[in-house]
Amino acid sequence: MFVAIDNTPRPYAWGSHTAIAELQGRAPSEEPEAELWLGAHSGSPSKIAPGSGVGFPDLAAWIADDPASAGLTESRLPFLLKLLAADAPLSLQAHPTNEQAAAGFERENAAGVPLDAPNRNYKDQFHKPELVVALSETYDALCGFRPVAEAIADIDALIAVADEKGQSLAGEHVRGLRERLQGEDAEVLRSVVEYLLGSDVSGLVAAVTDLAASAPVTPAVDTVRLLAEHYPGDPGIVVSLFINRVTLKRGEALYLPAGNIHAYLKGFGVELMASSDNVMRGGLTPKHVDVPELLHVLAFEPVPVPYLTPKPISDGVELFAPDIPDFELFRVEVDESDASIDLPEVAIAVVTRGEVDLTGAQGAATLRAGQAVYVTPDETALSVSGTGEVFVATTLL
């Protein structure tokens, strides 16, 4: 069964005013359009198109009431697909493991913290790993701690600017940070992040911001300038010096597992994640920040940029498959040719370019850019034809 779904974009302040609207071929709204959720998450479940024959207004209601007819063995869709359009940086954040989420959810329930309380950390008992594939020509992000030696090189460059310009007070602040960077990388990173997010470091933030304006441009310096423009005075500006900066090209992807500190900076992409709303924030946001809980879930070992290389499946088909069963993502590109993928479980497909025909064992659907369908597993194999690009999210659970 192919069930047409749609949703209203989330109007978060950092969102683009044009990217999602242009993809869907409509006029932009007056509000920013940050995320289009395609799934059954209670925060914004996808609406089911009238005339679908399902008899429910949205995916969450259908799956909760009759999971078997939706092709599921339990009343939960394990993944959430999104179109994400950022014109400004998102919050500095990380997500818990399943074990951390279950313990945190139980702890906050026992403490009587309402699920919708602004200071609630754990909205459910699930982890929230995620991947993102760039749709825009470039997609900028921070992701994972980098080796301390790399951060030191940028910090020393700021100190050199202070010395050259005779800015002794700014230089003193940054030298104080430099002196903290002695020891094993993971221990240093834990200590310095706790210091930056848990102390009054306004003088240091001002110094780093001021010196970066005159420093030679590196990815880290560019990040400081960008964050200072959007979140002046935020300690996350200094924390960013210790995080990998990456610019994806269209079609490239990142995979962000539990504990990976990250922040998307600018770009339009397809995002796929486990269906959860557990986010520990550390700055660059007006939302709730819980530094001790963030420190609890963060992985402080430096890591390379976590690129996710797709596996070629056949002509025009590639698969982004992280090492978890919750989700995987097919990218299918056709140009007056056919391609096919096997779908043993439920799926959601969204077209990101052109117009494509989807044909399964039981039904068919024609979609143009910006349109999406929920696909039940009785369609088994999915044939794609036409001219365009379609992303198909599914699960191994």
Q: Give catalytic residue positions.
A: 281
The two tokens of residue 368 are 């143009």
Polymer length of the chain? 397
φ, ψ at 319 (rounded to 5°) = -125, 125
Smallest CA-to-CA distance from 156 within 183, 184, 179 is with 179
DSSP per-residue letters across 224-293: HHHHHHHSTT-THHHHGGGEEEEEEETT-EEEE-TT--EEEEEEEEEEEEES----EEEESSSS---HHH
Smallest CA-to-CA distance from 84 within 261, 266, 223, 239 is with 266
Q: Provide the total of helices (H) and of strands (E) in the chain, helices listed first.
A: 10, 19
DSSP per-residue letters across 78-104: -EEEEEEEESS---EEE---HHHHHHH
Q: Is the dihedral of CA 180, 183, 188, 191 positive or negative?
A: negative
